[in-house]
Structure 1
Amino acid sequence: MKSFGFLSFGHYGRGTGPYDPDAARALREAIEIAQGADELGVNGAYFRVHHFARQAASPMPLLSAIAATTKRIEVGTGVIDMRYENPLYLAEEAGALDLIADNRIALGISRGSPEPALRGYQAFGYTGSSDPRGADLARDKFDLFLRAIGGERVAEADPEQFGPGQRLRIEPHSPGLTDRIWWGSGTAATAEWVGRLGVNLMSSTLLTEANGGSFAEIQAAQIRAYRQAWKEAGHTRTPRVSVSRSIFPVLSKEDLWFAAPMGDQSRDQIGMIDGFVSTFGKTYSGDPDTLIAELKADVAIQEADTLMLTIPSQLGPEVNLRLLENFATHIAPALGWQPNTEGPTTGYPID
């Protein structure tokens, strides 16, 4: 494990109590958690994106605020639902964010998970999908987005201003931005597609596959399929791979209180999501020695270079920074991690 960060789902409520922040407080606390994590040497601050829900939605204002007030930490998403996006406008935002962050971004993008709204992307004005889940919209838009951030001239210029036959690229342009884009994958087929495409792989605590193996085994197989496809496609850059886990180090009675409600989440779960039989990853909870042994035995964590810890963001900065500090101090070094002192790197070795 070369790096670890936190993944916030950005939940907020109505501001009725200490663990029920309203939207404004949730956003301010997200910035505070990221700033504290930066001081701890944590590598990344990543945020889920959901629409029509009391969670983080449009991520760019939040990520820009974090990028402008931190020094080293990578800022990103896990994941932006491409069905809801204008790809050229997103390319403009991504370019600006990458420049503000001094190339410290890791934008995870995907088709997205099921949303509270039925085909909510249609309410945003994006229609014409032939797939009931909008996957074709997401991939077509992603193709245009990648071409735009890569500097392709995607619009015809006004001939009265530029002369005939001229074309324009999206501005601002941030060179190398494509290297900092990730696609969120839940299946081996998608992982292989991502490898051929040549962007980084982001894998969550949910996989839309179930084959009798453990969650970690299924995920590790997907990562290996991705790496093999990357090699066969002949990409020269070294890719990055992240996985997400719910991990609660227990070093005090208070830590035990926060970790106790895990219940059946201490084992993998099989269920239906978005019409697919899916595997949900378990929650890790225990003392440092127990967690170190269990995480070393997690084959997907061993395959990846980046680990994202899902955090209970609604519990506030104090609880979450203690969780991150406990992991950074008592667990992560045994997994090969060292504190971040220089900012994110561009890639990691591939066999």
Structure 2
Amino acid sequence: MPLPSQPLRKLGFLTIGLFDEADPRTGHESTLGVIELGEQLGFDSAWVRHRHLQYGISSPVAVLAAASQRTRRIELGTAVIPLGWENPLRLAEDLATVDILSGGRLNPGLSVGPPMHWDQVKHALYPHTADAEDFSHDRVRRFLDAVRGEPVTTFRGTEGFEVYSDRVQPHSPGLARRLWYGGGSLRSARWAGENGMNLLTSSVVKAEESEDFAEIQLALIRTFRAHHPDGERARVSQGLVVIPTDSATPSQRAKYREYAEKRTPRTREPQGPGRLLFAPDLVGTSDEIAERLYAHAAFREVDEVAFALPFTFEQADYVQILTDMAEKLGPALGWRPS
């Protein structure tokens, strides 16, 4: 197994937080339990996906607010909040509030663009302003300005007994440095760098100049850092689906491999008009996965990861996978638990 050029500095995981429509509380409680387990195992960060009008977490801000009161150390992130569904000023208020409650542990990840199934949902989401909504990077810039403490109103001062601020309150000074952009294209990577954000690069990229996943992801990382004020020190987190099997039962191993095999065809060529390319899921012992990661050109450029948990597994599977990640895979990558 090749030696890493440097040890993995931060190990995180990502969960979608599925639930049963007839019993949503159990699913949400299970997600909180997984985050608590992550802290106990020494993970540096836990991230939740954002799913609107599905049976996954529709309000990561609320879920992470709850998680912040059940944990003390682990960082809490979103991967990612689609900003097209949000009012940037109001989201800035919510995230700043949760960051204050968490003691400065929030890592909000964002993306931009029209909401999924826009034509079907726009009349419910923006009934009077759908045609006027701006889903460009300017929407993210409005959010960044609000989080960074720029004025959002021309009025401030005292009116009667009420005192008004001209910027978002509460203001959390460190939050702006922990904002991430989920980018899968060269344009997005460049924009995130130019605007001083951190970069989340996942298991999905846009095939623009190549059809080799690792090559594409490497280009994203280098483009981002080439345009970021911090250069090579700019933070990038890589998210791949990783399933260690060290302590898995024979039936779990069979299920994991079947899951990965069903998803493999989409990794062979770009998908759809957007030419999206998916990374293969990594299934095997921790030593086998570490060897494949060290051979991955993009992985060699990062020192922090947020490995994605598979969507549809059972709670016992997640416990086994997270335990092996923390106790086997992490150390194989030079990481040490917090």
Q: Which amino acid aligns with 1:120?
A: V
2:14 paired residue number: 7
Determine which structure has the larger strand proportion and give its number.
1
Tell me by how many angstroms 1:95 deviates: 0.5
Computed over aligned residues only, the root mean square deviation of the Cα atoms, in angstroms, reads: 2.4
CA-to-aligned-CA distance 1:201-221 (integer Å, 9 cap, x gap): 011111122544421111011
SS of the equivalent of 1:272 reads: coil
Q: Which amino acid aligns with 1:5?
A: G
2:268 paired residue number: 269
Q: Distance in 1 between matches of 2:207 and 2:189?
A: 12
2:130 paired residue number: 127
Task: Say which is worse superposed, 110-119 or 330-339, in terms of deviation.
Answer: 110-119
CA-to-aligned-CA distance 1:111-142 (integer Å, 9 cap, x gap): 2687355363553215235xxxx8x4252221
Q: Distance in 1 between matches of 2:21 and 2:193?
A: 42
- Percent of matched pairs sharing the same residue: 29
Q: What is the correspondence of 1:91-240 to structure 2 with a 5 Å cutoff?
A: 91-111=92-112, 115-116=116-117, 118=119, 120-121=121-122, 123-125=124-126, 127-128=130-131, 136-157=134-155, 161=159, 168-230=166-228, 234-235=229-230, 238-240=233-235
Q: Which amino acid aligns with 1:258?
A: K
SS of the equivalent of 2:159 reads: helix
TM-score (norm 1): 0.84
State how many pairs are aligned: 322
CA contact (8 A) 1:296 1:302 kept: yes
Q: Distance in 2 between matches of 1:106 and 1:256?
A: 33
Q: Distance in 2 between matches of 1:160 and 1:99?
A: 25
Matched, 1:330 2:331: no
The change in CA–CA distance for 1:88 and 1:36 in structure 2 (over 3 A counts) is same
Specify every segment of 5 or more residues in structure 2 that has no aligned partner in the other structure, as ranges: 1-7
The change in CA–CA distance for 1:158 and 1:191 in structure 2 (over 3 A counts) is closer
Tell me by how many angstroms 1:316 deviates: 4.0
Task: Say which is worse superposed, 117-126 or 37-46, in terms of deviation.
Answer: 117-126
SS of the equivalent of 1:109 reads: strand
Q: Distance in 2 between matches of 1:119 and 1:242?
A: 33
Tell me by how many angstroms 1:13 deviates: 3.2
Q: Distance in 1 between matches of 2:118 and 2:315?
A: 30
Q: Which amino acid aligns with 1:259?
A: Y
Tell me by how many angstroms 1:271 deviates: 3.5
Q: Which amino acid aligns with 2:18?
A: H
SS of the equivalent of 1:156 reads: coil
Q: Which amino acid aligns with 1:147?
A: D
Quick one: which of 252, 257, 277 aligns to 1:255?
Answer: 252
The change in CA–CA distance for 1:160 and 1:72 in structure 2 (over 3 A counts) is closer
Matched, 1:30 2:31: yes
Q: Distance in 1 between matches of 2:70 and 2:112?
A: 30
Q: Which amino acid aligns with 2:236?
A: V
Tell me by how many angstroms 1:60 deviates: 1.1
Q: Which amino acid aligns with 1:257?
A: A
Q: Which amino acid aligns with 1:127?
A: A
Q: Distance in 1 between matches of 2:147 and 2:232?
A: 17
TM-score (norm 2): 0.87
2:5 paired residue number: none
Q: Distance in 2 between matches of 1:313 and 1:26?
A: 13
